[in-house]
């Protein structure tokens, strides 16, 4: 491979031979830092979403309990009056 094309490595990885390795490393470090910030933001959003879902779940459970109490009271009243 190297006898046919001495720049095979650069072509394989999409790097120009004139491009220095340090500039490529700098680009990758910048992309890495950007991705870390994205991960942090998504983790924060996940925490907020999870908290909101717990709040909704607790609210629904509270309403469900109230519906059960009202239904039970209604059945008891009908049973007492019906007897």
pLDDT at 77: 66
Question: pTM of the full predicted structure?
Answer: 0.49
Q: Quick check: 27 and 21 in contact, CB under 8 A?
A: no
Average pLDDT, the chain: 82
Assess whether pLDDT exceeds 70 at residue 15: no
Confidence band, pLDDT 50/70/90 cuts, at residue 12? confident
Within 13 Å of residue 18, how many CA atoms lie on the same side as its CB?
A: 0
Contacts of residue 17, Cβ cutoff 8 Å, sequence gap at least 6: 7, 10
Tokens linked to 49: 């979403």
Beta strands in the chain (DSSP E): none
User: Is it the case that residue 33 has pLDDT exceeding 90?
Assistant: yes
């Amino acid at each position: 491979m190297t006898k046919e094309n001495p720049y095979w490595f650069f072509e394989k990885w999409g790097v120009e031979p004139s491009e220095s390795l340090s500039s490529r490393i700098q680009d990758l470090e910048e992309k890495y830092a950007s991705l870390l910030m994205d991960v942090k933001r998504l983790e924060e959003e996940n925490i907020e979403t999870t908290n909101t879902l717990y709040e909704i779940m607790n609210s629904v459970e509270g309403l469900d309990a109230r519906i059960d109490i009202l239904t039970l009271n209604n059945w008891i009243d009908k049973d007492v009056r019906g007897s």
